[in-house]
Structures are given as structure tokens and as C-alpha cells.
Structure 1
Amino acid sequence: MNKLLPTTSAGSLPKPSWLAQPETLWSPWKLEGEELTEAKRDALRLALADQRAEGIDIVSDGEQTRQHFVTTFIENLNGVDFENRKVVRIRDRYDASVPVVVDDVSRKGPVFVADAEVLRASTDAPIKWALPGPMTMIDTLYDDRYGSREELAWVFAEILNQEAKELAAAGVNIIQFDEPAFNVFFDDVKNWGVAALERAAEGLSCETAVHICYGYGIEANNNWKKTLGSEWRQYEETFPKLRQSSIDIISLECHNSRVPVDLLELVRGKKLMVGAIDVASTDVETPEEVAATLRKALQFVDAENLWPSTNCGMAPLPRHVARAKLGALSAGAEIVRNEFSS
């Protein structure tokens, strides 16, 4: 991407009301069969049109074709039982009913490749596609087969690598692995988490990113944030390891958070998707607020490596709010871009 400060979204966008219940995470689909397939792709094209209309440079599908950012991928794997679920603690924050690994896990076939081909055929803009990371996948399951988080993570890394290579071949420019678990299980991140992530991204013909955030603006996440004190220093644990990794881009939360901005120095040299939009609030940022966040980041990241982004996905927000936030992101980036050319 040659443009200075190219804008992008970290994750999901709200789904239209004819596809799923608005402002609800992981809402069931309102259609089925062929109608659902067509509706998902209509929603994908609509999300693309919204991004382009609001000036977003690097576009995505807005995760319109998946119900959940992790389990929709897992639904397409062998060896996982979705009928007899078990309750587990997700990222040490909240309990959830999750599928169970009952046998050797393998990929049935391509999961998102056909959807990515639709997106690629619909735009000339660079496209980014998100996949769950290995550690976040094992944290969203009950394992009744492998008995080792690390062993299962390596299995998932192999499967993700298969999918990622096919997405790259379909014309995806950036593959992003979502790893919110990296903000919680620091010893695992250092011992095998980053290595498993690198395996998932190995040998790709496109750029790779890892997205590490503090979660959607849901009650469980908001309550967890209240326990983190006046400074959120979780990135301090993982950034040094990621700086040494083969991952090209690091996506992080910044605006309206308590992350000390000087932690960005720990990944100097990497491209950074800096979250300049708060996804936990319906208040729409002003372009100047976005610009102020970007200026702070520019103290610790070279301008050619800064990609203005959102803190996380915006699926739970009203569609008009999410779209307005994307517009503010673009306008704020343009303010700072002009400061470099003046």
C-alpha cells in the first residue's frame, strides 16, 4: 500500500437486519440454505460499499459471512462436536457454551475462499481477510481429545495455514489472525503462542497481520477492563516477542484506552494498525480526535508504517454509528496526511 496512512477496519461491521438481529453479537441467521448464502454475499457487498463510501482504503468483508469470528471457522472442521457442548471460561472473563473436540481435527475443505473470491471480484482496493489465531481457537473450545493446549494449537496452525494459502491465492492482500488471547495467557504466548501463529502464517504470498485487542464493547469485557488499573500494560508482555516474529503487521487498541502509547516503541519497525476508533461506545469520534490519537502514535511509529484503524470489530453497534465512525477515521487520517504534505 503506497498511500500514506492507509485506513482499514480491525474486524467486523454490523449486519443488516434482514440477515441477523442488529446490535447483537453472534446473532442467529434469519435465512437458510441458498437464500442465506446469497444474503451473506449481498451483505458482504453492502459492507464493502459502506467502507468505500466512507473512504476506507484497505477493505474487508466486514465478517458478514460468519456468525462468530472463531466458531464459524471451527464449524467447517472434522473432529468437533457442536451438539454436545460444554461450558468453559473464555479468556478468564466469562463462561460460554462451546463445541467439544472429540477426535482428530482436520479441515473438510475451504471455509472462506469462495466468499473472498466474491470480495476480490467486487473491488480493485487491497483486501484484508481475518482468521482466528491458533491460541484464540483453543480458548473457544473444550478439548476432549488432545489434552494439551499447545498440541491442539499446532494442529490448528497447520489447518489455518492451509486456509490462508488458498485465501492468498484467491487475491487476498493481507491475512489477519485474531489473537485476543494474547492479552491474557502471557506465558503461553512466549513459550509457543507466537511460534504457532508464525506456523499459521508460514509461506504466504501476501502480508500477514495479528490483531490483539481488549475485546468488543460487551459487559464481560468492560467489567474486565475495570480490573486492569490505570494503565493497561498487557502489550508490554507480547510486543517484544512479536517484534522478532515474521508477522508483518500488528493491530492494536489505542483510542480511549489506557494503553500507554509509548509501548508502541516495543514494535518499532513493524507496520502498525493503530486503533483510533473506540468500538465500546456509540459516541462518534470527531476527525480531530482521531487525528490526535494518530499524532500520539507517530511519536513511536514511522509514518510509512502507520495504518489508522478501529480498536476492534463493530458488530454490536448500530449500522449508522459504525459507518459514521469509519468516516471519522478517514477524515482524521486525512488531517494528519495533509500535515505531512504541507
Structure 2
Amino acid sequence: MTQPLLPTSIVGSLPKPSWLAQPETLWSPWSLQGDALVEGKRDALRISTHEQSNRGIDIVSDGEQTRQHFVTTFIEHLSGVDFEKRKTVRIRDRYDASVPTVVSAVSREKPVFVDDAKFLRQQTDQPIKWALPGPMTMIDTLYDDHYKSREKLAWEFATVLNQEAKDLEAAGVDIIQFDEPAFNVFFEEMKDWGVAALERAAEGLRAETAVHICYGYGIKANNDWKTTLGSEWRQYEESFPLLQRSSLDIVSLECHNSHVPMDLIELIRGKKVMLGAIDVANETIETPEEVAATLRKALNFADADKLIPSTNCGMAPFARDVSLAKMSALSAGTAIVREELVSSGV
């Protein structure tokens, strides 16, 4: 599908309606059950789609309206994982959480998100994007009592993800995004097999593929971790050279209000860059000029035809009016720079 110069997008989640889940609460349990929940999820997905379009978002996603958690909702539908048998593990070396256990070989008996993706495709003629968890982030959200190897489990998940991604592509998804925040933590594993496993997940796809690497939602554990990173956050320096040489089409990164040096984008020159120009750890609404200023700086290191203005991460914990205002700011700021580029003959 044709896209304008600097097509806008959001990275992940949007707030759910209050009748579907508790507002301003990350990973809140559903407020509905049974058929009412199925209907409620579809209604929320329909609303989210139109809200994005009305706010000037060019590449529309599901806003994660039909899933509770960006990783475990996918895993819930796989064989080999016992959600009743739980263990406490350290998530991304930051905080402890009770997680399900891998008890046997993992497999996907049937598509997980395909029906929802088909429904999203019916709601809009715009390009659509769907996010899946990446293999390394999946293994970091489980206790493995079967493979006893993070690498082996990652490769198994990569195969399962590839099956799902191909079905999503057949359902009309234009961009398939893999969320890999683990790439900002486990550098040696990422280099040894993490990027290769991600490429396996994306293997053979005609749809564009993206990898999203951020510093996480604005929860206390993440914010505390960020205070230890110093005045410059250079974690992307580890992954970007590998991703520049990878088969992935788009690299999505956190930028606005972070301490990420803008010049690190040069390391992925040639790839499309989904640039975070909206802060998701702060409820302050960016002005269009603030967004424009971030994009102008990024254009020193990324070609205009490869820049996708976006949010830093998902916006699920915000009030809905905050997320809507932030999407409007993203679109308005992008429009300023888009007009500047067109006037200059780009």
C-alpha cells in the first residue's frame, strides 16, 4: 500500500475502554467474560482503529486491545506451557515475577491472533501492523523445566512465531513487528544467537518485518533501572550493527525524552527507522514543535524515505484522552516536517 512521506505509527498498546479492563492499569484483568468478552474485545479493536485514523496515524495497529499482555497472551495459546505450574523468575534482570513453566515441547496447535488480524483488516484500508513477542523476550518471561537451555527454547519459539507470522501475512497484515526489549539487556546471548533466532521468526515473509527494542513501560522497576544507565544510554550500540546486517526491514527504537544519543541511528543506516518521538513514561503532551524537533535531528542520521515517526513504546497505562492527545501531537509534528521536506524538494 502507498504511504505518505514520514508515515506515522504507534509501537504497541493503547488504553482499553473502561468497560473492558481497569483504566490506567498495565496488564489489567478483563472486566467481561465469555461471549461478552469476545464482543467487547472486537468493539475495542474497532474503536482503537478509528481513533488512530482520526488522529492522523498512517500505519494502524490493533493497540493490543484483544490481549492482556504483549508476551503471555501469545504463550497462553501454545502447547507445552503450564500456566498452573508457576515459578518466580527475574524478568530482564530487573524485577521478580511469577511466570508459567515450560513442561514439554512447545508447539502451536492453531493460529493465535489471525482472526483478530482479519477483523482489523476489515476495519481500514490503511496499512496495518501487528506485533508479536520476540524469541528472546519470550524465554525471559517463562521458567524452562523441559529444554533446560535458553537457546534451544528460543529456536523453538522462533519456529512457532514464524508459523504465526506467515498466517498473519496471509490475513492481510502489512508489517509484522517483533518486540525484543531483551536485546537491551542480554547482549552476549543476543550476539550469539538472539538476532539469528529473530531472523528465523521472520524467515520467508513478504510482509515488512520490524524489531522493536525499548527501555520498557514507565513502571518503577524500569525507571529505577534507567537511573543506573548514566547520562547516555548506549545499549543500542550493541544491537544496531547486527540488525543493520540482518534480514529485518525496520528497527524501532526509543528516542524522545530518553538519553539515547541520536547519532546511534547512523549504525542502522539503510534500514527503515521507526523513531520514538512520543514519551510513554510521562503524561505531559508533547507539542507538535517538540515532535518536529526530534524528527529533524533524526533526519541527520536517517533518510527521509526510511523514517517512520512513532511512540517510544505502548501507551496502555495512560488515560485514553492522554493517548489520543499524544497521537495528535505525533501527527501534527510529523506534518510540520513533512511539509518542510516537500518544500525543500525531498
| TM-score > 0.5, shorter chain as reference | yes
Query: Which residue of the partner structure matches residue 252 of structure 2?
Result: 251
Query: Which residue of the partner structure matches residue 208 of structure 1?
Result: 209
Query: Runs ≥4 in structure 1, deviation > 4 angstroms?
Result: none
Following the alignment from structure 1 to structure 2, what is the Cα–Cα distance between the partners of residues 154 and 341? 45
Following the alignment from structure 1 to structure 2, what is the Cα–Cα distance between the partners of residues 333 and 233? 26
Q: Give the total of aligned pairs.
A: 342
Query: Which residue of the partner structure matches residue 328 of structure 2?
Result: 327
Query: Which residue of the partner structure matches residue 280 of structure 1?
Result: 281
Q: TM-score, normalised by structure 1?
A: 0.99
Following the alignment from structure 2 to structure 1, what is the Cα–Cα distance between the partners of residues 215 and 232? 13
Query: Which residue of the partner structure matches residue 242 of structure 1?
Result: 243
Following the alignment from structure 2 to structure 1, what is the Cα–Cα distance between the partners of residues 305 and 98? 43
Query: Which residue of the partner structure matches residue 6 of structure 1?
Result: 7
Cα deviation, 1:34-80, whole Å, max 9, x if unaligned, reads 11111001000111111011000000010000000000000000011
Following the alignment from structure 1 to structure 2, what is the Cα–Cα distance between the partners of residues 105 and 2? 38
Query: Which residue of the partner structure matches residue 170 of structure 1?
Result: 171
How far is 1:2 from its partner?
3.5
Following the alignment from structure 2 to structure 1, what is the Cα–Cα distance between the partners of residues 342 and 232? 34
Following the alignment from structure 2 to structure 1, what is the Cα–Cα distance between the partners of residues 86 and 315? 27
Structure 2 residue 303 is the aligned partner of structure 1 residue 302: yes
How far is 1:84 from its partner?
1.8
Following the alignment from structure 2 to structure 1, what is the Cα–Cα distance between the partners of residues 321 and 227? 28
Gaps of 5+ in 2: none
Following the alignment from structure 1 to structure 2, what is the Cα–Cα distance between the partners of residues 205 and 109? 21
What pairs up with 1:109-124 in 2 under 5 angstroms? 109-124=110-125
Cα deviation, 1:78-123, whole Å, max 9, x if unaligned, reads 0111012111000011001100001111112110000000000110
The DSSP-based 3-state class of the residue aligned with 2:4 is coil
The DSSP-based 3-state class of the residue aligned with 1:175 is strand
Structure 2 residue 103 is the aligned partner of structure 1 residue 102: yes
The DSSP-based 3-state class of the residue aligned with 1:80 is strand
Which amino acid is the alignment partner of residue 113 of structure 2?
F
The DSSP-based 3-state class of the residue aligned with 2:115 is helix
Gaps of 5+ in 1: none
Following the alignment from structure 1 to structure 2, what is the Cα–Cα distance between the partners of residues 107 and 90? 24
Q: TM-score, normalised by structure 2?
A: 0.98
Following the alignment from structure 1 to structure 2, what is the Cα–Cα distance between the partners of residues 238 and 274? 16
Contact 2:3 2:58 in 1 (8 A): no
Which amino acid is the alignment partner of residue 280 of structure 1?
A
The DSSP-based 3-state class of the residue aligned with 1:315 is coil
Which amino acid is the alignment partner of residue 27 of structure 2?
W
Following the alignment from structure 1 to structure 2, what is the Cα–Cα distance between the partners of residues 315 and 188? 29
Query: Which residue of the partner structure matches residue 319 of structure 2?
Result: 318
Which amino acid is the alignment partner of residue 133 of structure 1?
G
Alignment RMSD (CA, Å)? 0.6
